[in-house]
Chain A
Amino acid sequence: MTGLSVDAEVSRGSFTLRVAFTAPPGQVLGVLGPNGAGKSTLLHALAGLTPVGRGRIELAGQVIDDAGTGTFVEAAGRPVGFVFQDYRLFPHLTVAQNVAFGPRARGAGRHQARATAGHWLDRLGLAGLADRKPGQLSAGQAQRVALGRALAGEPALLLLDEPLSALDAGTRLDVQAELRRHLSDFPGPCLLVTHDPLEALVLADRLLVLEDGRIVQEGPPAQVARQPATQYVARLVGLNLWPDVPGLDVPGLDLRGDVLVAVRPAAIAVSSERPAGTDCGLVWPAKVTGLTLLAERVRLSLDGQPPALADVTPEAVADLSLSPGRQVWLAVRGSDLEIYPRPPGHQ
């Protein structure tokens, strides 16, 4: 197949990453996960900086790593572009020389490499910075140079390791919009590692969630955001996720079997008395453990069966005299419960 196909196990010290997935050409695959989940290990294995311990990696119809047959294409021989988190622009070379490095190392003549670099600098709007040293660039400019340097080698696979994490909030939005444009122009598969859910939602066509070296969820961003498979993903997208709700009985919904329940914090009603049973899907008592002021609302942390996050207005906090330790009743309508089978791959 064209594109990227991975079914491999990579060990780094006592940590083992075990993944199997494919990415077709033109797709931006967002790899989301907490620190230490194996995101960087995955990129290093794809780039040939770490060999796989078991399994194989196939790129554009070519086997580049196969522990079974001993095939291993070294990093320098792989058509892979890598944008590192800290960019790693060569400090002793100018911007143009940095971008020309790839074509030059892959055998292009001096003039040809310079022309290729010029083309990419134009395309990324960096022509005016060609003679600067990396030390004289802003973080946003350095990010674009790093992208240009990776693309100038015309790779078949593009890897981006937290490409926006070194930027401040202001530049991040600009660079993000620009990055999205360049990624959509890239013909091959692209892996974008991030731990920022918004970045993943905006930039990725499909998401792969890694936790503890395993894939715990895979799917379109909208689906991952609506039906998170793990507490980590649920926290990222700001949902309550209950794997198992005792006493939950919603007329017309089958809750037997291995299902997950997700609820928006705003859909949970908080009251001081037990609400009269109308069409409430779930009513339970809980104790307030914390309050955080978000923009125009207050997020309550609540301890109960199940524990929950609930959003209320500041007026409600005053009306109900909410403070840590306060006993309250929570209610959520059946129609606000997102109930779905537990995604496969997660135990």
Chain B
Amino acid sequence: MADSSVQEQRAKQVLPENTEKTLVPQVEIPRVIKPAPSRFRNEIAKYLVRRSNDCVHCGKCTEVCPYGVHVLKSGYKNFAAPRQQFCIGPSCRQTGHYCVYLCPQQALKMVENPMLKCLGDYRWTPDMLLATWKMAETGAPPLPEYGYDYETGASGGGFDRLRFKFADKPAVELADDEIDTGLELNRRHDGRPQIKIDVPWYGGGMSFGSVSNITQLSKARAAVAFNTFTCTGEGGYMERMRPYDDHTITQVATGLFGVREETIQRVRIVEFKYAQGAKPGLGGHLLADKVTPAVAKMRETVTGISLFSPFPFHSVYSIEDHKKHMDWIKHVNRRALISTKVSTPADVDMVAVGSYSAGTHIVHLDGGYGGTGAAPDIAKKNIAMPIEYAIVKVHRFLEQEGIRDKVTLMVSGGLRTSHDIAKAIALGADGVVIGTAELVALGCLRCGRCESGRGCPRGIATTDVELSEMVNLEWGTQRIINLYHAWRKELVDILKRFGLRSVRELRGRSDLLMHLDYTNDVEPRR
């Protein structure tokens, strides 16, 4: 590694004085945790609490419940509706707080919410959704007494079968503030800026069109608070995003929608999107109904006509062509880092090494089970491999080629929790890219109706003016900040339990993992 003065000198050569930086004053967002309760009147709760007419308003239940489920406001004769989202269920029995038993009139009833059957799926279980909402609300991991089984999903493979091998006692006792979760994004030391983000993740590409203005801005503001990044996706760059330029990645995708010289010059990272995990080999989809006048204007297209991006870049047939593209961007913006977003084909390891030799700073792998605003069902399930395999393959190959420490490996595609993030890093990624989880923080429940009509019924992935007003910018920002904060706390906790001082030490430590379907008798390769 060159010493810092040499680096500085080189930086001057690479970055002449006339490099156009963003001209708009940048906004500061404090990293403050505030409660951001659900924007809906009735929260979806794990347990339903019902009060019958036998209630005599004695107030016994308010005394026994330590979680504040039962509320009798002063001056009122009747109870308010039970705040059942705080109920921890029948595990109260052990602690002697079980209101159902203690009610002298036996007027209370508690059941597991049957509606949870309608919520979630194998990858995002109901518990995982509820826990993520809780984190977005409070900024802390959910209390253990709630008993959310949210660290893994129910898909029966990959991350959901991997577990950390925690020791009873860590090798070194560390305090929270001794642990560094930061990640350097430029490992080429090519004179371009050394960008460091405070958490080992940044926000994934979601275009204006696939999601609303407010959603994009909420993501960007949370990225500012955590000194990380968000990505504009392929649909161009709103003026309203400019105060967050320093924390924005802009995408050059196959459709080249909204890509202009100035949009490239404003930002610190430019991402080439070759493919997306949910629809590898197909190109972006934005269906007609969501192409509103505002979207069409930004993408320079026609309102109400579906936009299907081509695949692949019609000017890239080889790694040499990829390098040509990259050199072009590097010339247009002399201070930007380049990220290359690719999907996970059988030869993903070769693709990653090829991208590195073409000059990319970040290789971003998007696995086959990744999120999307719209993709053919046949593509979501069947094309390209899940990210878990790709991480292992690429990490190993980069090591063999001797370039593992010269490129940053970011991964995405079905990472849902901080535990998934830690597992991905332990398998060999440097950091991860987050998409769906941020939307869940905003109230998404993955009903899967983002693609058509007015779009998202919850006002997140929509371009409909009326629907997108359902989300408030301040609230949205706070929800994502809270989620990030809870995740960071959990990540620090995992590192602490292993006695690791930094998230960089966790990378490639697959010896700290075990797989429930394996014998786990391989000698650790360290």
A-B complex is real? no
